[in-house]
Amino acid sequence: MQLYGTEIASRLMLGTALYPSPADLAEAFRRSGAGIATVSVRREAGGERAGAAFWDLVRDLGVKVLPNTAGCHSVREAVTTARMARELFDTPWIKLEVIGHADTLQPDPFGLVEAARILTEDGFEVFPYTTEDVVLADRLLSAGCEVLMPWGAPIGTGLGLTNIYGLRTLRAQFPDVPMVVDAGLGVPSQAAMAMEMGFDAVLLNTAVAKAGDPSAMAEGFARGVEAGRLAYEADPMEPRDMAAPSTPVIGRAFLE
C-alpha cells in the first residue's frame, strides 16, 4: 500500500489513546503489526500522558506516525494544530479533523475542505477524516488531498459500516484513490467487510484500547484486515437469489 508515495507494509492503522497502560499500547502494536500510529496533538500533549515520555513511547513503536487534529472545531484550530504537529514530529503528514457536530463528531464539510486547501498549499500531505459523501470527496480531492478517510460510523461507537451503499458508491466513484475506513469499527468482522469492499486500509482506536484484552483484539483486527484483503483480491463470487448445487448431478448413483 502506498500513501503519498510512502510504502506501508500493513493495512491496519491504530490510534494511541485510551489504552489502560503504555505496556498495553506497545503490545497491541506488536501483535497487530500495524504500520501507522495516529496521535492527537491536543489530547496526548496533556499532563496525564507525561508529555515527552509519551512521544518517546510512540517513536519507540517503530511505525510511521500520523498526527491528527482531533478535537478541532474550526479551520483556524485545525490549521494551527497541524502546524504544531509538523514541528513536533517533523512530518508533512496530517490526519485532518474539523468537527462540525458535537454529538456525532461528524466532520464539518465546509471547514474540512477549506482547511485541506490551506494545508496542502502549505506543503502538508493531508488525510481528511470525512463522511461517505461523494460530492465532499470530490471537493477534497480538488483541494489537493490524495487520500480519503471516510467514516464507518461515528467515532467510538463500534457500530461498524452503517452506510454500506454509500461506502460502496464512494469506492466505485474513485477507484484509484487510496481510501481508509476510519472510525466506528467495533469487531474484526467489520474490518474484514471494509476490506472485502475494496478499501485500502482501516483505522481504529477505541475497539482495541477499550477491549478486555487490547493486544488480542489488535491481533484479531490484523487477521480480519488480512482476510478481507485476500478475499477482495480473490475476486469473490456474485451472490445468487436461488440455490445452485455444488455437487454435480452427472455420474451420481440413482436408486430405483
pLDDT digit string (tens) for 174-209? 999 999 999 999 999 999 999 999 999 999 999 999
Q: What is the mean pLDDT of residues 107-121?
A: 98
Answer yes or no: 64 catalytic: no
Please tell me the predicted confidence (pLDDT) of residue 254.
60
Residue predicted with more confidence, 153 or 55: 153
Please identify which of the residues 31, 86, 95, 171 carries the catalytic annotation: 95
Please tell me the predicted confidence (pLDDT) of residue 67.
96
Other CB atoms within 10 A of residue 220 CB: 20
Pick the CATH number of 2-234 from 2.60.40.10, 3.40.605.10, 3.90.180.10, 3.20.20.70: 3.20.20.70
Per the annotation, where are the binding residues for 1-deoxy-D-xylulose 5-phosphate? Answer: 156, 183-184, 205-206
Instruction: Give the whole-angstrom CA distance, residue 139 versus residue 174.
Output: 12
Confidence label for 55 from pLDDT (cuts 50, 70 and 90): confident
Please tell me the predicted confidence (pLDDT) of residue 59.
83
> Residue 73: phi, psi to the nearest 5?
-115, 10
Instruction: Give the whole-angstrom CA distance, residue 26 versus residue 21.
Output: 9
Please tell me the predicted confidence (pLDDT) of residue 140.
98
Please tell me the predicted confidence (pLDDT) of residue 51.
60
Per the annotation, where are the binding residues? Answer: 156, 183-184, 205-206
Confidence label for 50 from pLDDT (cuts 50, 70 and 90): low
Q: What is the mean pLDDT of residues 52-75?
A: 89
Residue predicted with more confidence, 142 or 60: 142
- β 36-40/12-15 pair status: parallel
pLDDT over threshold 70, residue 253? no
Q: Report pLDDT digits (tens) over 21-46.
A: 999 999 999 999 999 999 988 655 54
Please tell me the predicted confidence (pLDDT) of residue 44.
52
Q: Could you tell me where the DSSP H helices lie in 90-162? A: 109-121, 134-142
- The chain-wide mean pLDDT, for the chain, equals 92
Please tell me the predicted confidence (pLDDT) of residue 244.
83
pLDDT over threshold 50, residue 173? yes
Q: What strands lie across the sheet with 180-182, from one edge to the other?
A: 149-150, 125-130, 93-96, 64-68, 36-40, 12-15, 201-204, 180-182
- Extract the runs of DSSP E, i.e. beta strands, from the chain: 2-3, 6-7, 12-15, 36-40, 64-68, 93-96, 125-130, 149-150, 180-182, 201-204
pLDDT over threshold 70, residue 49? no
Contact 22, 211 (CB under 8 A): no
Residue predicted with more confidence, 94 or 47: 94
Please tell me the predicted confidence (pLDDT) of residue 46.
46
